[in-house]
Each structure stands twice: as structure tokens, then as C-alpha cells.
Amino acid sequence: METKSRYEVVAELEAQKRNLIIEKSDLDFEVKNKERNILNLERTKEDLSRQKIDFNIRQENQKADLIKQKKDFDTRIERSSIDLDREIEDAEKDIENFKIEVEKKKETKTALIESIDKSLERMGSLQK
């Protein structure tokens, strides 16, 4: 068995004391790190909640935009449909007027043909 001098024993005890002091201060640092980790996790959880809220708001805004787009589209279609109905109505009236004009033109042409026939008959009777 080896005997240590008093100086060696004091030096070892001083080294142990120094190590214990360092370990003790490291424990405080570890506690602070763990507390910081918990704080970071809580912040991450809060961030997730905010992200979820933001996402829901964006979704609602997109839904509102789609509803507005559909309403605008339906309005345009309705207006186009009304315009087409008016154009169809106008075209039908044009056809009616055209038919009346055709009948008048036929009557006029028939009268002209009869007039020409009478003139031809007169000319034919004059030649005889």
C-alpha cells in the first residue's frame, strides 16, 4: 500500500472539489437547457396553433372567393341568356316581318306579271 503525502492528499481533494464545483455549475446549466427546451416546445405548439388558424382563415377566404366567382359567373350567364332570349325574339319578329314583305312582294310581282300579260295581249290583239 502506498502512502500519500499530505500535499498529495490535499491536491487530490482540491481536484475533487474543483470537479464537484464544475459538475454543480453544469447541473444549473443543464436545468436551464431543459427549461429552454420546454419553452421552445411550447412556442412550437403556439406556432402550430397560429398556423392552423391562418390556414383556416385562408381556406375560408378561398371559399368566399369561389362563391363570389360562381355568383359572378351565374350573373354573366343569366345576362347572356336574357340577351339571347331578346335576340331570338327579335329574330322571330324579323322572320314574321320578312314573311309579310315576301307576301307583299309576291302580290306586287303577280300584279306586274298580270300587267305585262295584259300588255302582251293588247300588243298581240293590235298585231292582228
53-110 pLDDT, tens digit per residue, is 999 999 999 999 999 999 999 999 999 989 999 999 999 999 999 999 999 999 999 9
- Would you give the DSSP letter of residue 4? P
Quick one: cell of 25? Answer: 455549475
Which alpha helices (DSSP H) does the chain contain, by range? 6-127
Instruction: In whole angstroms, give the CA distance from residue 59 to residue 45.
Output: 21
Q: What pLDDT is recorded for position 17?
A: 94
Measure the CA–CA gap between 115 and 106, rounded to whole angstroms. 14
- What are the domain boundaries of the chain? 1-91
Nearest alpha-carbon partner for 12 in 20, 108, 54, 25: 20
How far, in Å, CA of 19 to CA of 12, rounded?
10
The pLDDT value recorded for residue 34 is 95
